[in-house]
Structure 1
């Protein structure tokens, strides 16, 4: 299944320690580049998150954001009454010794142990975060596959166009060869007549003509194009990341198109070579978006 490298997915999960929010987005990139933003409570989970994402995504520049929002209406901080009572007793004793001493509430709150955060079950919170990631990854990959299906359709149409052009060139080559042979024989006859020479060595002329026509032969290039078309169609059906494979295959397509153009001696085959390169470039543009 062809996958696009551009996608976005998000999700939320309510836990007793707050609401987990997760976002995953990606754009094109030659390799896998993963950036993570995590809350302090889940910093230790970063290696596991990276491993889980990398096990299912092979290419693209991914940005992953995980948030933890405190429960609405619940106190995020709690007072420690016993600790506060100890500090109050100490303040009373100090005021007896230092009558001018003033104790501010904000100063008391800054003492260690006065304010407490509710205890968090780290193992359970991490398990919830990983479970949320799995759901978001499912949605993320589904989005990539939907977009990839559209790209595959466009690429398949262009590959069909390449196959059609190769077939057209193959069909016109016998006529091109015959036309070139006739043209050359006519020029040789005109040259012999205008120069007053009785004639040319027909055997030598035939030999040179055959060598020249062989240089114009593009059967091998057309055969290779047909093979590349078959391979592209096969690759488009694979259920794995195929972007790099297709990118390499496009280099081979382009090489054959260049050779066809360089060997062309007819306006029709020259136009066909140009059209081939247009289609190949269109496929290359789409492949840049494929995982």
Structure 2
């Protein structure tokens, strides 16, 4: 099972006679599945269906669905309201000669409120049901296309994430090699500091010096942090290989990566290990940015 990105776009359209419909779906990153649906008046019942279909295909992401319709037949045509026109003509005849006024023009009469009307044909229940089924089929088609696009993007993310994990592993091995030289460096640095501070002719107890070196080496020991980093790298690779909605788990692993890298930097007793720790934190941040887009 592959991983999927949370970013995608899909469109589906169709027609039932002169009735045209279009679905547009857009998804972006989100902590959970958040669906927003915009439908024209008269199609409000599709909101619940849209949420149900989205839950069948997606686990996480902010999803916006928009339905547009254009019923050519329902645009209507202009018609004269004969009863209203007859009333107006009768009043004009009745008032003719009693009121000093110019004869009204045809466009003036037609411009009176209620004389011209738009006739909208009625849609029977069977035709409405046919349109509804076509729109519902289109929704599933668009959702399939969106899911396919998110999975294609997930395939590209998979390669990017593996590359970042390889870099983190390389830096972890470099940190292990650098940390292996720390006890000797600590001893040499401590002996040098003792020589500078102690007056000439006064010897330092070798046993006490060995105790101090052991204490400092223990505080600077980063083997546990490096072992956990290796374990986290393996766990991340297994999650990606397993596929599915693993984004949350990978995000949690990134937090653990950061915790170990921060501890490593705080324990580092030389510049080389500190620099590796900084590079490691940068690589982990790059990994986290990519993981934020995984479902």
Both structures adopt the same fold (TM-score exceeding 0.5) = yes
Tell me what 2:58 maps to. 57
Q: Which residue of 2 aligns with 1:234?
A: 238
Note if 1:180 corresponds to 2:181. no
Match of 1:196 among 198, 201, 210: 201
For 2:255, which of 240, 243, 251 is the aligned residue?
A: 251
Residue of structure 1 in register with 2:40 after alignment: 39
Q: Distance in 1 between matches of 2:192 and 2:84?
A: 120
Give the match for residue 213 of structure 2.
209
2:143 aligned with 1:142: no
CA-to-partner distance for each residue in 1:162-216, whole Å, 9 max, x for gaps? 1111111212322222222233234445655x3432x333323222221111111
| Matched-pair contact (CA < 8 Å) for 1:12–1:132 | yes
The 3 A distance-change label for structure 1 pair 163 and 92 is closer
Q: 3-state SS of the aligned residue for 2:57?
A: coil
Q: Residues 94 and 288 (structure 1 numbering): CA distance in 2 closer, same or farther, change over 3 Å?
A: closer
The count of aligned residue pairs is 280
Cα distance in 2 for residues equivalent to 1:281 and 1:115: 60
Task: Report what 1:164 is aligned to.
Answer: 170
TM-score normalized by structure 2?
0.82
Instruction: Name the TM-score, length of structure 1 as normaliser.
Output: 0.83
Distance in 2, matches of 1:160 and 1:90, equals: 82
RMSD over aligned Cα atoms: 3.1
2:114 corresponds to: 107
Say if 1:66 and 1:196 are closer, same or farther in 2 by CA, change over 3 A: same
Deviates more, 1:157-166 or 1:176-185: 176-185
User: Which runs of no fewer than 5 residues in structure 1 stay unpaired?
Assistant: none
User: Given that residues 78 and 116 in structure 1 are in contact (C-alpha distance below 8 angstroms), is that contact kept between their aligned partners in structure 2?
Assistant: no
Describe how 1:255-274 pairs up with structure 2 within 5 A: 255-274=259-278
> Aligned equivalents of 1:97 and 1:186: distance in 2?
118
